[in-house]
Amino acid sequence: MGSLADASPAIALTALDGRYRGAVAPLVDHLSEAALNRERVHVEVEWLIHLTTEQVVPGVRALTGEEQAALRAVVEDFSAEDVAELAAIERETVHDVKAVEYYLKRRLAQITPEEPGLAELIHFCCTSEDINNLSYALMVKGAVTEVWLPAATALADQVATMARDLAEVPLLAHTHGQPATPTTMGKELAVTAHRLRRQLARIDRAEYLGKLNGATGTYGAHLAAVPDANWPAVSRRFVEKVLGLTWNPLTTQIESHDWQAEIYADVARFNRIVHNLCTDMWTYISLGYFAQVRGQGTVGSSTMPHKVNPIRFENAEANVEVSNALLDVLGSTLVTSRLQRDLTDSSMQRNIGTALGHSLLAVDNVGRGLAGLDAVPTAMARDLDANWEVLGEPIQSAMRALGAQGVTGMENPYERLKELTRGRRIGQDELVEFVRGLGLPADVEDRLVGLTPLTYVGAAPRLVHDYLD
């Protein structure tokens, strides 16, 4: 038997690059190894332009507009051929960032052939981590703001739309799995939409930190080379004004990665709310509160023709769990480093794309799952009508209020309703008989007699419309 490892084109090892490639492909532009190299080239190019534009090194001229454009075109036109060239250089250097430096020196030699000395300002005074931390910050920022956040926001909006559409549809609540005070399906979905949006707001405010301060964060090489330059100011302007990141003024050799831990925790929390949504929707489907719309030509079960399985929600649960396992380990390990530097973060950060990829896949599946549902209000109404005992709560609450006002005959309301309802089903007739025998004021009696499990939803519909947005 031949080895699949030798197949051409190469067969994907992970599901994200194989079965689920279509759902996560946009992340490739931000979090792949090729994207990392492109960002390294980007940072190196902009650092060279920044040094010459600010004329930090005495006697070095500023690059012309044409020369700057030609350098930036190296980034804009970065292709599979460039990836291959970098890989070939790295096989010689056995160092990925040094390979980028040599690659750019080749390009600069074509742009300024008469001034070979300019090439020495590529990677000037930089440790590899200066380039890498900025590259990862740009990569994660792009992946989150341009890919993950729009998809996650669309899902939250989808849930919010369902909440508005179902704001008036009564639903028997189940606290601890037992019949409880009715609500509406829309109000329950609004809770989820509100929770998701809070996390999205936190993620939208995230800071992406970066540093450029040398081998141990002291600007030692910078000051040795050009002692009169205000290197912290040069660094800050580069990180903030050129790259659009937040400057970290105090670091070891590495940027501390605290910001990464913060954003991964927020994404993981969003994921967990999505997981909660999946388990709830799965349960509502099993109760018959939603019907799944069978897609044209789909198969629900390989052996049971009648079935349509809630596979989108189950798939999302699994992907959320994988994503969170990775996000949690990223957050817990990236914030630690032995003394001034160890290399664990280098390997760990290469899993960021996988972590966000599984989250993105979960978001995609939940969206598809929700889009394939039709609410079944009659099924919800049937369960409500079978649980008249839930009206024990409003009746005893009304009795409490009257008792507090001095109305006689309202003693022990909780205990009396408990005796009537606990451990057995009662219907409308028994409840009405009980209410009419309490001696309530006429208006209160009429209000309680007219109450049904379908109408006992409190302010649920109004809460959706007043507070969801």
Q: Is 301 a catalytic residue?
A: yes
CA distance 359 to 352: 11
Which residues share a beta bridge with 179?
174
Q: Which residue from 432, 434, 437 is spatially nearest to 451, judged by alpha carbons?
A: 432
Measure CA 411 to chain center: 52
**Cβ-proximal residues to 18 (8 Å cutoff; 6+ apart), any chain:** 11, 12
CA distance 179 to 175: 7
Please give, one letter per residue, the 3-state secondary structure of 254-297. Answer: CCCCHHHHHHHHHHHHHHHHHHHHHHHHHHHHHCCCEEECCCCC
Q: Is 347 a catalytic residue?
A: no
Transcribe 91-131 into DSSP letters.
HHHS-HHHHHHHHHHHHHHHHSTT-GGGGGGTTTT--HHHH
- Considering 79, 174, 286, 301, which one is annotated as catalytic? 301
- Considering 176, 302, 306, 347, which one is annotated as catalytic? 176
Instruction: Tell me the helix, strand and coil percentages in the chain, rounded to 5.
Output: 65, 5, 30
CA distance 267 to 251: 25
CA distance 141 to 209: 10
Give the phi and the psi of residue 174 in degrees, each rounded to 5.
Answer: -135, 95
Q: Which helix (H) or strand (E) holds 180?
A: strand 178-184
Residue with tokens 């509502």: 284
CA distance 173 to 177: 9
* CA end-to-end span of the chain: 60
Contact 235, 211 (CB under 8 A): yes
Active site residues: 176, 301
